[in-house]
Structure 1
Amino acid sequence: MQVHVKDEGDGPTLLFLHGMFASLHTWDPWAKAFVDQHRVVRVDLPGFGITGPHPHGDYSLRASMYLLESIREKLGIEQWSVIGNSMGGGLALSYAQLYPEHTENVVLFNGGRLLPAASETEPVPKPALDTEHEQDPTSKPAPDTEPEQDPAPKPAPDTEHEQDPTSKPAPDTEHEQEPAPKPALGTEPDSNTSTATATETSNQPDNVSGERQSLVLRALASPSLRKALSVLTPKFIIERALKEVYGNPDRLQPGTVTRYYELLRREGNRQAYLNRREMRPRRSGNLPDLPELANPSVLPELPILPEPTSLNDSKVPVLILWGRLDSWIPVRVGYRLHEAIDHSRLIIYEDLGHVPMEEDPERAITDVKEFLMRVDSVPTNSSR
């Protein structure tokens, strides 16, 4: 299959993975910010953006991992830092567990999942990969394959600054995690329920259980509505969904809405979303995520994933950034991930939503740059 990849710059490599309904364009401000000192690789994952649907309709975790490894090998990259949002964060964390030797750091924006301790024995399909990548950041995309880039949303002023990791955060804006029982690393943080039990929240910071609810996700739980949206997707629906994922809807730019709308309407992308949902385990109220299993009846032969590695054993540094106003994946999931991963750092943005890296790129870029510069000296399991 052909995969739309942008490959720019030189230096330590950063891989950027987008979330559900998004594309590599969500990382445009990030490419501009990092390309002077890094090699920046961005991918339109199958079913999204220019890449379009997977030829076999396979959106399994194994297929996704094999795709990322194929890209890494084709581009001749030995090691990279993997940065992902939402679904892309889940992929980033899974990749770090499966390929720790190729993972320098992990950065999660409102997303992530931990794999079971032992790998599944079912094989991963081997797609025919024809990676298209652009190395000249000034080159223009071919007009028949890539829509014109919409201007990135203007970032809000950088009003949040990181404190010294050893100092306590201000009690009215930041919260330090109280000690809580750590979930087993073989368990996936529960991002699927809309409320938490008292046990789940008793050691969490204030407002963790006061979560915003997504009307769009609740609507997408209806099979009939999903089918209708696969052939008819009004632009106002896209705008409503984006306003939900922003902590401050006033930050949403018209060009961003247009970009999401046009790329979602690329042939096959809406049906790919339905196919992805159908492959998922049946859970009520789920945030769309990559399924665990593929349909072996439509797949060619069979490489197998390596054993997942405990991130605490591999000591891959992990930065977790979460918008407290996320209506898609509640902030308590970020706290659980932080508790489960020893070598992790947690930053909570009090005024941002599900896509902090898009809603306020300037602020998030500053935090990620600082993490990458001093990752070796960051105290284990610190938070702010």
Structure 2
Amino acid sequence: MALVKNILKVLGVLMLSLVFFLLLQYRSDLPVEYVEEKYQTPESHYMQVDGQKVHVRFMGEGEPVFLIHGSFSSLHTWDTWQKEMSPYFLTIAVDLPGHGLTGPSELKAYTVADYALLIQRLAEQLGLEEYHLAGNSMGGAVALQIASDRPDLVKSLNLVNASGAPTAKIVPRTLDDKKPTQSGGAWVFRLARNPLFSKILLKCTPKFLFKMNMKQVYYDESKISEAVIERYFELMRREGNRQATLDRLTSPRGSSIDFSRITMPTLITWGEYDSWIPVQNAYGFQEVIPGAKLKIFANAGHVPMEEIPTESVAEYLSFLGVEVRKDYFSSPKMMTYAY
């Protein structure tokens, strides 16, 4: 009997400790005004697209390029790419509903198909007849959906560690012992889908979870800055974004890709140390997209546009016809787009 009492006491102490810990981790939503003032830029615009207020950042001029971020992210993931591409292209980075400064969708329109339609509607409002698409992770799946739905509008496609590869075509590759052959998975997705933990995460969102998350998506942890962690942390706490994230993760994916329609010039780029979407997926895409160019970055994880922005954007610019400078004393040149 004494043993049972001691066990119950220990369990009681553990439960109280857990409750106390959760109370310490309570984080309220951040007001829209606060996050907009802190994270919008002079290039930020807010557009109404089918009743949804959408945060869009325009930089540069020339042929339009849509840059589509991944899950839990925002258009800020493309900061360096937009700066480097703006001398040659009109870059259009978008905060998808439920992310960044755009905030939640009243209609809970969070599927890949919903996002693809939103980008198409935005392009129509801007009067764009054709455009290039680049997408990372979930954003890659959105770009794929657009290319499948309207291949006549898409001049080229860039899949950056994209989701959506046909699983039957994912062929395991032999890598050295230091390189993952399969994904450990994004634990944050599983946690958010758990009915109990999802309710806790709505109010108790500890900052250290975001640091752990960043360590999963970066290969070189030394490149993870406190400013980046804080940006992810605060934009997730933008009023309505946490609930939108849970709604999105518990709803059907809502995408259907016809790879026979992906005939536009396509570049597949991948961080070889991606623990969320393993590099095998890159080869899977290459199997079903004839003529696709593949580039594997040996020094990056899931978000090469953040981790190795200069190297990854140079690869994309080269694909689009911009001659990469061999030194800093000569001017870059624009080559004829040969597609």
- The 1:51/1:226 distance shift into structure 2, 3 A limit, reads same
Native 8 Å contact 2:99 2:236 kept in 1: yes
Equivalent position of 1:27 in the other structure: 78
Alpha-carbon distance in structure 2 between the residues aligned to 1:109 and 1:357 = 8
Residue 316 (structure 1) aligned with residue 285 (structure 2): no
Q: Which amino acid aligns with 1:105?
A: S
Aligned-pair CA distance for 1:212: 4.9
- The 1:100/1:206 distance shift into structure 2, 3 A limit, reads same
Residue 210 (structure 1) aligned with residue 181 (structure 2): yes
Aligned-pair CA distance for 1:216: 3.7
Of 312, 321, 328, which aligns to 1:364? 312
Q: Which amino acid aligns with 1:323?
A: G
Native 8 Å contact 1:110 1:323 kept in 2: yes
Give the secondary-structure state (helix, strand or coil) at the position aligned to 1:48. coil
Aligned-pair CA distance for 1:206: 2.4
TM-score (norm 1): 0.66
Aligned-pair CA distance for 1:377: 6.2
Native 8 Å contact 1:322 1:331 kept in 2: yes
Alpha-carbon distance in structure 2 between the residues aligned to 1:58 and 1:360 = 32
Equivalent position of 2:99 in the other structure: 48
Give the secondary-structure state (helix, strand or coil) at the position aligned to 2:167. coil
Alpha-carbon distance in structure 2 between the residues aligned to 1:250 and 1:221 = 30
Give the secondary-structure state (helix, strand or coil) at the position aligned to 1:5. strand
Equivalent position of 1:236 in the other structure: 208
Alpha-carbon distance in structure 1 between the residues aligned to 2:125 and 2:297 = 36
- The 1:20/1:266 distance shift into structure 2, 3 A limit, reads same
* Farther-moved stretch of structure 1 (37-46 vs 53-62): 53-62
Alpha-carbon distance in structure 2 between the residues aligned to 1:327 and 1:308 = 24
Residue 6 (structure 1) aligned with residue 57 (structure 2): yes
Residue 346 (structure 1) aligned with residue 308 (structure 2): no
TM-score (norm 2): 0.74
Q: Which amino acid aligns with 1:211?
A: Q
Whichever structure has more helix as a proportion of its residues is: 2
Give the secondary-structure state (helix, strand or coil) at the position aligned to 1:21. coil
Deviations 1:112-150 (A, max 9, x none): 426xxxxxxxxxxxxxxxxxxxxxxxxxxxxxxxxxxxx
Native 8 Å contact 1:100 1:309 kept in 2: no
Native 8 Å contact 2:113 2:142 kept in 1: no
Alpha-carbon distance in structure 1 between the residues aligned to 2:127 and 2:195 = 43
Equivalent position of 2:113 in the other structure: 62
Count of residues in Structure 1 that have an aligned counterpart in Structure 2: 272
- Give the CA RMSD over aligned residues: 2.4
Native 8 Å contact 1:92 1:112 kept in 2: no
Aligned-pair CA distance for 1:226: 2.3
Alpha-carbon distance in structure 1 between the residues aligned to 2:105 and 2:206 = 24
Matched residues, percent identical? Answer: 35
Aligned-pair CA distance for 1:64: 1.7
Greater Rg, structure 1 or structure 2? 2
Alpha-carbon distance in structure 2 between the residues aligned to 1:308 and 1:351 = 30
Equivalent position of 1:292 in the other structure: 254
Native 8 Å contact 1:24 1:43 kept in 2: yes
Residue 85 (structure 1) aligned with residue 56 (structure 2): no
Structure 2 runs not aligned, ≥5 long: 1-51, 322-334
Residue 328 (structure 1) aligned with residue 300 (structure 2): no
Structure 1 runs not aligned, ≥5 long: 115-187, 281-290, 294-306, 379-384
